[in-house]
Structure formats: C-alpha cells, structure tokens
Amino acid sequence: NAGVTQTPKFQVLKTGQSMTLQCAQDMNHNSMYWYRQDPGMGLRLIYYSASEGTTDKGEVPNGYNVSRLNKREFSLRLESAAPSQTSVYFCASRQDRVDEKLFFGSGTQLSVL
Amino acid sequence: EDKVVQSPLSLVVHEGDTVTLNCSYEVTNFRSLLWYKQEKKAPTFLFMLTSSGIEKKSGRLSSILDKKELFSILNITATQTGDSAVYLCAVLYSGGGADGLTFGKGTHLIIQP
C-alpha cells in the first residue's frame, strides 16, 4: 500500500552543494512529475516524464535535472543548490488516459542556506 | 497568464458556516478538473469532474462543473475545524506541451471554533 514514496523528508544544504531527491511509485503509472510548492505560488511543475526514457521541462526547470531511471523511479537532482531553491518538493504520478487522478508523495522540505 | 484561477485566496469562517470555493479556468481541449485538499503534507484527492452540471458529493463536500462558463465550485456545509486546509484546483487538458495538468494557487481555508 506504499503508493508514491519520496526520500528524504527533510534536507538542509549549503549554497553550491548538490543532492538528489528520490521518488518511486508502485502503481505501475506511466506519468511521473516533480513539483515545487512555495507560499502563495501553488504547485509549480519542474519536470515531467510521460513514460520511461522521456522527460520534459515544466514551468520552472532551471537549476534542476531529472532522470527517469525505469518505470517506477523518477529522481530530481540539484547540481548546485541556491537559496531560491528552498521549497517543499512533491513527486507525483498518474496513469495517463486511464485514471486522471494525480497521486502525491509526502514531500521533501528542502532548505538551502 | 494563469490558466487556473482560484478565489478567494484565503477565507476565515466560523465552525458551522457553509463555504463556497471557486475555480475558473481557461484552457483548450479540456479533459477534467480535479479538487485536492492539502493539510500539513501531500495533497489528497477529493473530486474529479468531467461533465457539466453533475454534482459530485462526499459527506459535507460537494462540487460541480460548468463547462460553458469554465468554472467549478467546491461547497463545504456545516464546516468543522478539521476542514481547515488549502484547497487546490487542477485542470487537465490535452495538447498542453510538456504537461497538460495545471494547478491554481489554492484557497487557504481557516475554520475558527
């Protein structure tokens, strides 16, 4: 009954450090997403993957890279973290054209000092 | 420009009141509109609406879609303090480039005892 699993739940970085946020889903979904959520800004799409091996930029991709490692896993990498990347990050997945509902992970609270 | 606009952005009411949250959208090739509730962590799914005029209901919550006027409302009757949350509206549409799922900024609802 795991659904979408995101790690870590919390992270503090110094400016310039790198890190990877991990996401895995066990629902056999084809589409996976990374969002960031900032106060007053709603959920903004960083990157999207419609299927294994494909990724596309969303609204705010600068400073991030992604990898769709296989159907289950979609990771988000910050190569050189900046204070502007302090945010709450959510991974999500859905089965496009079958069930339009988006299922979310529990989120990662990231602070960049 | 924003494709999905929610109003009000914040709302404070007393327990027992009825509230109406609004979501208007402007997209082509509309597929569905989704409502989510977000408390401390990940958004949780409430409703998905695809057809005009058909009310979806779950306990004290209900929602309806007007595809002619391009909006949806979420009603909560006899509000309780546990209804305090951010309510997110998202619209799914075809041909949206990297992603056809856009969120509004959310309505922050506070229920006072």
* pLDDT tens digits, B34-50: 999 999 888 999 999 99
How far, rounded to the nearest angstrom, does the alpha carbon of residue B101 sit from its chain's CA centroid?
Answer: 14
Q: Is B98's CB within 8 Å of A100's CB? A: no
Which stretches in chain A have pLDDT values below 70?
Answer: 1
- For chain B positions 18-77, those within 8 Å of chain A (CB to CB) are 31-32, 34, 36, 41-45, 48
Q: Which of B1, B38, B41, B65 to mutate to test the interface with A (most CBs of A within 10 A)?
A: B41
Residue B97 in this model has a pLDDT that exceeds 60 = no
For residue A58, give the nearest of B42, B88, B99 by CB distance.
Answer: B99
Mean model confidence pLDDT for chain B: 91
User: Tell me, what's the pLDDT at A95?
Assistant: 84
Question: How many other CB atoms sit within 10 Å of the CB of residue A24?
Answer: 21
- pLDDT reported for residue B98: 47
Amino acid B88: pLDDT: 96
Judged by a CB distance cut-off of 8 A, whether residue B2 touches chain A is no
Tell which residue, B2, B22, B11, B13, has the closest CA to residue B69: B22
Spell out which residues of chain A touch residue B35, defining contact as CB-CB under 8 Å: none
What value does the mean pLDDT take over residues B16-42? 92
Burial class (CB in 10 A: 0-12, 13-18, 19+), B74: buried
* Distance between CA atoms of residues A92 and A3, nearest Å: 10
Asked if B97 lies within 8 A of A102 by C-beta distance, the reply is no
